[in-house]
Amino acid sequence: MKKFLALAMALTMTATLLAGCGGSKPATSGSGSGSAAGGDTTFEKQTWKFACSATENTVWADMGRDFGQMVSDATGGAITVQVYAADQLTAGNQSEGIQAAIDGTTELSAHSNLIYSAFDQRLNVVSLPFLFDSFEDVDAKLDGEGGKALGEVVESMGLHLLGIGENGFRHPTNSVRPIASLADMKGLKLRVAGSELLSAAYGKWGANWANANWSEVYTGLQTKTYDGQENPLPTADGASIAEVQNNVTYWTGVYDCIFFTMNGELYDALSPELQAIVDECGKKAAENQRMREREEDQKILEKWKANGVTVTELTPEAVEEFKAASAPLYEEFADKLTPELIAAFTK
């Protein structure tokens, strides 16, 4: 894990940006004459709303700002992207945030596969236990046949997939003991995000799992209603989880991705030139977001260590224990996730 994090942090944002989709840092898109930079094509002025479930100061929102800057640069300022974080356009409701993009109320959306699975359970395939064993493996699969198969499902919903970003690996924390083996998980009262697959995985691992609204979790951990919780580190850190938890297992057990989408009817109505621009800039914005998310992940891990949180990484033998315990889920969820989609990630 550490060598892959080091590789991710070594990548620079400027290396990922192509000519025509430039801009080395996220910024608010500007205005211009509508003449494409460096060319004769003139684009109609448009303003697109970008909605995401994470808050304003996250790399999720940065992805929208990054995309907006690149598209503005590539169209001579014709396209402006307005970022609405924390699903403020739908009163914080993440599912409605996705629905708004499907309906065209918002033009652009960034939401995790766990939320998307409420619309189509197949999109939960990304969260199969130990589907990925490293960040390099994530990139190879999401940028390969697995990502292509996911895109077909997303686009069947009336959306156009611009890119796949990252919510990250979901790391369990608790206030009882380090989780270094399957036996250490047994009996822990853990709050698990409301996913049937995720809940089933923690059940296989021996935890006493429960679902609860995220807004209630800090108090639940503080009062010992729950021993722990599981989430990507930026989410947990944003909620000050390290104040009430002193153990984290840093692993590749469960992964979340982010679908960066555009309303399908809007995309189809764009000129081929503008479609090419939004596709390239969307892909780059998502790639950039993945790298930023990993850098943030490592910073938080080091901060937690410095503040006394015990960080545990599994031995290869322990990983095999957890894999073996949760392996039956691949068969048990085959009908919901489809063998074809599972095979796109496992063949």
- Domain range 13-120+136-166+258-293, CATH architecture: 3-Layer(aba) Sandwich (3.40)
- Structural element, H or E, at residue 323: helix 316-326
Structure tokens belonging to residue 335: 């009908």
Each residue's pLDDT tens digit, 179-235: 999 999 999 999 999 899 999 999 999 999 999 988 899 999 999 999 999 999 999
> CA Rg, the chain, in Å?
20
Average pLDDT over residues 116-139: 96
Q: Which pLDDT belongs to residue 41?
A: 74
Alpha carbons 83 and 61: distance in angstroms, whole number: 7
Q: Which pLDDT belongs to residue 57?
A: 87
Q: What is the DSSP string of 132-187?
A: -SSHHHHHHHHTTHHHHHHHHHHHTTTEEEEEEEEEEE-EEEESS----SHHHHTT
Given the candidates 3.30.70.1520, 3.40.50.1100, 1.20.140.10, 3.40.190.170, the CATH classification of the domain at 171-253+300-346 is 3.40.190.170
Q: What is the pTM of this model?
A: 0.87
- Domain ranges within the chain, ordered by starting residue: 13-120+136-166+258-293, 171-253+300-346
Q: Which is more confidently placed, 42 or 275?
A: 275
